[in-house]
Amino acid sequence: MKKLTIKFLGLAFLATAVFVSCDDDDPINPDPVVDEVIENLNNGIMDGTLEEDYTLSASVSYNLSGSFIVADGATLTIPAGTNIVAEAGGTDVYLAVLMGGKIEINGTASSPVIMSSPNANPGDWGGLTICGKATTTAGANSEAEVGGFIYGGDDDSDNSGTVTYLVIKGTGAQINEESQYNGVSCYALGSGTTMNNIAVINGSDDGIEFFGGTVSVTNMFLQNNEDDAIDWTEGWSGTVNNAYVEHSIEGFSTVIEGDKDNNNPKINNLTAVSTTGGTALQFKKESGMTITGLSLSGYTKTIDMKDDGPLENVIIDGEIADPTKSYNAPATVDPTEWTWIDAELAEVVELNGNVESDVTLDASKTYRLTGSYIIQDGASLTIPAGTKIHADNGGTDVYIAVLMGGQIFINGENDNPVVIASDLSQPGDWGGLTICGKATTTAGVNAEAEVGGFIYGGTDDTDNSGSVTNLVIRGTGAQINEESQYNGVSLYSVGSGTTFENLAIFDGSDDGIEFFGGTATVTNIYVENCEDDAIDWTEGWSGGITNTYISHTIAGFSTVFEGDKVNNNPIFTNVTAISTVGGTGLQLKKESGATITSLHLTGYDVDLDLKGEGALSDVQIDGSDAVGTVIDADAKTYTLTSGKDSDPIDISGWTWISAEL
pLDDT at 613: 76
pLDDT at 31: 52
pLDDT at 322: 96
Instruction: Check: CB of residue 378 under 8 Å from CB of residue 404.
Output: no
pLDDT at 480: 85
Q: What rounded mean pLDDT belongs to the chain?
A: 92
pLDDT in tens, 16-25: 333 333 344 4
**Would the pLDDT of 263 be above 60?**
yes
Query: On the CB side of 247, how many CA atoms lie within 13 Å of its CA?
Result: 32
Q: Which residue has the higher pLDDT, 91 or 249?
A: 91
Nearest one of 434, 224, 493, 516 to 343, comparing CA atoms: 224
**Would the pLDDT of 32 be above 50?**
yes
- Give me the residue spans of the domains in the chain: 45-337, 347-431+443-519, 543-652
| Long-range Cβ pairs for the range 302-306 (8 Å, 24+) | 302/326, 302/327, 302/423, 302/424, 304/254, 304/279, 306/282
pLDDT at 83: 97
Pick the range with the lowest mean pLDDT from 55-59, 232-236, 277-281, 512-516: 277-281
pLDDT at 69: 98
Q: What is the pLDDT averaged over residues 154-166?
A: 98
pLDDT at 30: 52
Question: Binning pLDDT at 50, 70 and 90, where does residue 26 land?
Answer: very low
pLDDT at 173: 87
Q: What is the pLDDT averaged over residues 456-469?
A: 98
Question: Binning pLDDT at 50, 70 and 90, where does residue 585 land?
Answer: very high
Nearest one of 517, 522, 537, 543 to 589, comparing CA atoms: 537
List, as one string, the DSSP characters of 40-103.
HHHTTEEEEEE-S-EE--TTSEEEEEEEEEE-TT-EEEEETT-EEEE-S-GGG-EEEE-TT-EE
Nearest one of 187, 171, 146 to 223, comparing CA atoms: 171
pLDDT in tens, 50-89: 999 999 999 999 999 999 999 999 999 999 999 999 999 9
pLDDT at 611: 86
pLDDT in tens, 554-584: 988 889 999 999 999 999 999 999 999 999 9
pLDDT at 557: 87
- CB-neighbour burial class of residue 578 (10 A; exposed 0-12, middle 13-18, buried 19+): middle
pLDDT in tens, 633-651: 888 999 999 999 999 999 9
Q: What is the pLDDT averaged over residues 483-512?
A: 95
Distance CA 617, CA 619 (A): 5
Residues in contact with 3: Cβ distance below 8 Å, sequence separation at least 6, in sequence order: none
List, as one string, the DSSP characters of 104-115.
EEE--SSS-EEE
To the nearest 10°, report the CA torsion of 372, 412, 361, 377.
Answer: -50
| pTM (predicted TM-score) | 0.81
**Would the pLDDT of 8 be above 50?**
no
Q: What is the pLDDT averaged over residues 181-191?
A: 97
Instruction: Check: CB of residue 114 under 8 Å from CB of residue 170.
Output: no
pLDDT at 10: 33
Proportion of the chain above pLDDT 70, given as a percent: 95
Number of H helices, E strands in the chain: 2, 52
Highest mean pLDDT among 77-81, 361-365, 449-453: 77-81
pLDDT at 484: 78
Distance CA 230, CA 225 (A): 9
